[in-house]
Amino acid sequence: MATAAAASHHNPGKKGSSDSGIVPPVLKVYDPPKELEREPLVLNNRSLGWITDSIAGICENPMPKWWWPVFVMSAGGMMLMFSLVAYLISTGVGVWGLNQPADWAWDITNFVFWIGIGHAGTLISAVLFLLRQKWRTSINRAAEAMTLFAVACAGIFPVVHTGRVWFALYPGFLFPVPNANAIWPQFRSPLLWDVFAVSTYGTVSLLFWYVGLIPDLATLRDRAKTLIRKFAYGLFALGWTNSNRHWSNYEKAYLIFAGLSTPLVLSVHSIVSFDFAVSQVPGWHTTIFPPYFVAGAIFSGFGMVLTLLIPMRSLFGLEDIITKRHIELMCKVILATGSIVGYAYGMEFFIAWYGGSPYELYAFKNRAFGPYAWAYWSMITCNVISPHLFWSRKLRTWPLFVWFVSIVVNIGMWFERFVIIVTSLHRDYLPSSWGYFTPSWVDVFTFVGSFGLFMTLFLLFIRFLPAIAISEVKAVTPQADPHHPLGGAKGHH
């Protein structure tokens, strides 16, 4: 009766509800505390037009004054690397520090390092897309480009480390092409599996990156002020008109490529790890390598993404698009994968002890306390200790500190590959076969020059192409939602 009376009081013309006269209680909507609210993916309620102008303006306007000196230095490093590769081919691998028994050293270390760098791009683009993680939209384009450039750097080292590159490229040595010598690839060798894995990874990553670029290339085409730029962007935009049919086909293609790319995240570095795991060398012959290498690749890949994007967001004024929330989430991935890598380091020692092989146990004792102990403990400091600083929210949302730690992570991951390769080889079963690898100046400057190639390609990328996916960032803003107060016509002005 009290409920019906209350209903009659609020609705004078009616007595209760149409049936029982009972009015359901008003549900109070939970309003979370302000400190628990998530930071939006685009700050300051930026309009869709502002997003287009800010991102497209980077490649439409003249580059800042710092760009040319950095580009000249990077191009110089790239030319240095190619000069040293020509010197290596014309002279022989004796110009490197390789010796017996350490006949793999900086060359394969650099190959595995660069392949690992390229993992974050595919993970951010494909895996996070399938998991519907909207925060990927501000960073996926640059991460995908970084993947392609890292694979280009990686592909150089396994070819030139043979010294006689024409043997590696000769039909029949790597590819099953009929030839007069009746020489066929050794399909049971993981070194050949690498060829197919890396080439597949690079091809799919390139197509995935290009498909995602098409709507933004059409935007640059429509905004172009010169005939050459209009023609170039229009050629690669493939006649994009922003129609419903084009968007439907685009989304289907993007989903297919994401599905194809996701297994590659796991398979490529697993196959790279097989280069070591299927051998009988103590320190390499272990089944933990595939997941361990994949976690390490994602770890170093996200480190390189942060190394590149934190300066870029500051130099181009993109703090409202690449926010501290993006940086914090990437730090959490680094913390998770760094914990996996640290667990793997400890588990390797346990396996060596539990397996009962004196040679395996000696290989790991030699890593920690032998002549290369400095490299091992540098690896532990960079890869195990430094990521755990990200347990602090204050530190993982401090861009300058995160940038420093991301560089430390990449240094540590290079040391990891060096420790795995060199310390497992430099002491053979006989003390008379022991040696110590010391890199030559050609080793050092070839690796330094590979960074020149990487940075040259990345600088050209931000000069001519949108470094952030314009259409994808717009799709995750409140303005894109017609039911939002800022949506509809208001969001476009």
Q: Encode the chain (493 residues) as per-residue pLDDT tens digits.
A: 444 444 444 444 444 444 455 655 655 555 556 655 677 888 888 888 999 999 999 988 899 999 999 999 999 999 999 999 999 999 988 899 888 888 888 999 999 999 999 888 888 888 899 998 889 999 999 999 999 999 999 989 988 888 788 877 665 577 777 777 777 778 888 888 888 898 999 999 999 999 999 999 999 999 999 999 999 999 999 999 999 999 999 999 999 999 999 888 888 989 999 999 999 899 898 899 999 999 999 999 999 999 999 999 999 989 999 999 999 999 999 999 999 999 999 999 999 999 888 999 999 999 999 999 999 999 999 999 999 999 999 999 999 999 999 999 999 999 999 999 999 999 888 888 888 999 999 999 999 999 999 999 999 999 999 999 999 999 888 766 665 555 554 444 3
pLDDT score for 254? 93
Q: Is residue 57 part of a domain?
A: no
Q: Is residue 213 part of a domain?
A: no
Q: Is residue 451 part of a domain?
A: yes
Q: Is residue 226 part of a domain?
A: no
Q: Is residue 89 part of a domain?
A: yes
Q: Is residue 470 part of a domain?
A: yes
Q: How many CA atoms lie within 13 A of 154 on its CB side?
A: 26
Q: How far apart are CA 113 and CA 446, in angstroms?
A: 14
Is residue 381 within 8 A of residue 76, CB to CB? The reply is no
pLDDT score for 465? 94
pLDDT score for 489? 45
pLDDT score for 483? 58
pLDDT score for 177? 75
pTM: 0.87
pLDDT score for 5? 44
Q: How far apart are CA 82 and CA 387, in angstroms?
A: 35
Q: Is residue 15 part of a domain?
A: no
Q: How far apart are CA 112 and CA 352, in angstroms?
A: 23
pLDDT score for 450? 95
pLDDT score for 191? 86
Q: Is residue 179 part of a domain?
A: no
Among 300, 407, 325, smallest CA distance to 37 is for 325
pLDDT score for 493? 38
pLDDT score for 11? 47
Domains of the chain: total: 1
pLDDT score for 397? 92
pLDDT score for 171? 57
Burial level of 228, CB count in 10 A (0-12/13-18/19+)? exposed
Q: Structural domain of residue 132, as residue ranges?
A: 65-166+262-478
pLDDT score for 122? 85
Distance of CA 442 to the CA centre of its chain: 28
